Amino acid sequence: MQALFEGYIAIRDFMELGGPVLSIIAVVILLMWVQIVERAVFFGTSRKMRIAEAQAAWEARRERRSWQAHRIREALISRFALSAHAGIPMIKTLVALCPLLGLLGTVTGMVAVFDAMADAGTGNARSMAAGVSQATIPTMAGMVGALSGVFAGILLSRKANRYVDGLQDSLTMDH
């Protein structure tokens, strides 16, 4: 219990050092990882059921060579592709937003440094250091969040493409 409390204190202190923009970055990273986990759960559970439904609908057709059959096949693949890729554009958007918010934190932190310099002159290193930490911590947090999201987004996108290609290959045109 003590370790949990100490962890909370450390996170609180870190958030205070980074300024108000760090809270926004934390929310964006949380939303991004909620989306990433949701996609991972989809690929682990619902994906198999959706592929089986598409394959069953295709296998139930007696005729598979006509123009209409080709359009039905394309529709089955397209519906699965939409469900497989759902959420991935949002993940990529949140990834792109992280470094931008980090830069916003840099600007607000540097404004705090300049305010401290204007109020106390260049001799007050303590007030300048608070502004510098407020400038660098959000930048670092935004970059770390973006890097983690980039890798997860690429893996999810590749996985979605692989499953769509597999479904496309499994819906054969024989008969």
Residues of the chain by 3-state class (helix, strand, coil), percent to 5 = 90, 0, 10
The answer as to whether 158 is a domain residue is yes
pLDDT band for 123, please (50, 70, 90 cuts). low
Q: What is the pTM of this model?
A: 0.82
Give tens-digit pLDDT for 138-163.
Answer: 999 999 999 999 999 999 999 999 99
Residue 9 lies in a domain: yes
d(C-alpha 170, C-alpha 70), whole Å: 14
- Domain annotation covers residue 150: yes
Q: For residue 174, which amino acid is it?
A: D
Domain assignment present for residue 175? The answer is no
Contact assessment for residue 116 and residue 97, using Cβ atoms and an 8 Å cutoff:
no
Number of structural domains found in the chain: 1
Report the pLDDT value the prediction gives residue 56, as an integer from 0 to 100: 92
Q: Look at residue 93 and tell me if it is in a domain.
A: yes
The whole-number pLDDT of residue 165 equals: 95
pLDDT of residue 98: 95
- Whether the Cβ atoms of residue 48 and residue 161 lie closer than 8 Å to each other: no
Give the range of the structural domain holding residue 6, as residue numbers without chain letter.
Answer: 2-170
